[in-house]
Chain A
């Protein structure tokens, strides 16, 4: 095993721990909705929500880093360049996250001063980490990029996947710099802020997960590199073609020119098209493999990724992306429903697939299977579907009664809190959230134990079999 792969396992472990923190603060946030006096004057709802969303971003980022550190030496046939630096920055990353979390929990917020901006909270949604921590994230990202680029330059094997990944690292890093400006004009601030939030999630992350899934397909199913790469180019072109200007759907109501309504709506409407292509691709691969593989958990999570992405980003997104609908649905629980489903489908399931793949290799297991992964798979997916269903009902109620009929007034907001569908939607989200949390516990148990009992047998790797 390469040193880089040991670092990958650390990153993937940290990602799973942060996933747990995200679930915990998600459950706490959900509790405020069904019991508004919960932790009154002790712990702010805002802080719980910040921790829920920021850990969402961070655990995915750590998962991506871990996946790349896992596959990179295999792809290039050599140890990752500057791996020692990568190891140091892993601990820096963990320390930064821990300190920021402690500050968020115990200090929560500060006055409107430069000190707060630098040491407590930047005050920008999703990138609330204080400025010193944001600088830390930039350093970690820069070292990660250096590791990838230097390894590619040193290696004689430079694959198409690696080239796409390197090109993707440029916007990935540059766009994060958008976390820093503190503009006083809110329209301008939001205009650039969306470059970070949207283009990270719907462009650079899509390409990143595309590269990771390409490597996963090769490792898991023994897919040919030529096939995987040619498909990766098509998908990247389609995703970027629709995703970059799909940015416009965030520009609808923030004071930007009117033409963004057309641009954003048009490209957003095209976004589900490549997602359908991905579903077809998943079925094709599953069929070629006849649903048989030595690593069933990784295989099922990979399939869940394709379907979840289509449903969460495609179906849920299209319901609310056209300007006429979005006028009322923007920023409601409806959006939260879409965000939960899309993140889950597009990224989380893919990272679980990589983790199971790495566990299978690490433990040299003849075949990963058992009851726990099936239960965690079922509970997590049922929990998620229940949550997004509850949020969708509550969000539609909110969009209709608070926004469309109520005119987004304060009294309409208060009236909404007593509407039965809204309340039931919130309770449903809370209940299914607990099911989701149970799924997380079993998932952790499974990841800690799976494949440990079974000693390795002589098996033919899919790649060898394909050869």
Chain B
């Protein structure tokens, strides 16, 4: 392990960093509605995945740790779309509540009060 210490550590750091770049580009792609950014995100995920394979096959970490890293690579793939969907859903629910009849009635009342003033 000593000889592979620095390389393994750098690979592990890059593993998380590339997941972050994937998440960043994916989110920007969805936010700005720019498919190339989203594709760039997937490209970085591919790099992340390749890095995971490198860690699994070329580092002296134990088999359980390698399994954990492989599993977390799958989790990293899912986090940006799931998080985005969750955020969008709770915001949509909120807007729906806001646009509901009682809320609209209250808004009309408030607007009327404003005109009266």
Binding site for B on A (CB under 8 A): 224, 226-227, 230-231, 234, 262, 265-266, 269-270, 272-273, 276-277, 279-281, 283-284, 287-288, 310-311, 314-316, 318-320, 322, 324-325, 327-329, 396, 399-400, 404-405
Contact = CB atoms under 8 A, between A and B. Distances in A.
Contacts of A265: 65, 68
B62 interface: yes
Contacts of B90: 226-227, 230-231
Contact of B10 (A272, A281, A319, A329): A319
Contacts of B65: 265, 269, 322, 324
A277 B15 contact: no
A222 to B, nearest CB: 12
A315 to B, nearest CB: 5
A315 B28 contact: no
Given A273-B75, A283-B27, A396-B6, A315 B83 contact: no
B81 to A, nearest CB: 9
A interface SS class? helix
A405 B2 contact: yes
B102 interface: no
B20 A311 contact: yes
A280 B1 contact: no
A404 B5 contact: yes
Given A284-B87, A324-B65, A328-B5, 4 more contacts: A226-B90, A281-B83, A284-B31, A327-B1
A276 B79 contact: yes
Interface in B40-69: 60-62, 64-65, 68-69
Contacts of A314: 16, 20
B15 A318 contact: yes
B98 to A, nearest CB: 8
Contacts of B72: 269-270, 273
B20 A325 contact: no
Contact of B9 (A224, A273, A277, A319): A319
Nearest to B8: A325
Contacts of B84: 280, 284
9 contacts: A231-B90, A287-B27, A314-B16, A315-B17, A318-B13, A318-B16, A324-B8, A327-B1, A399-B6
A269 B79 contact: no
A415 to B, nearest CB: 16
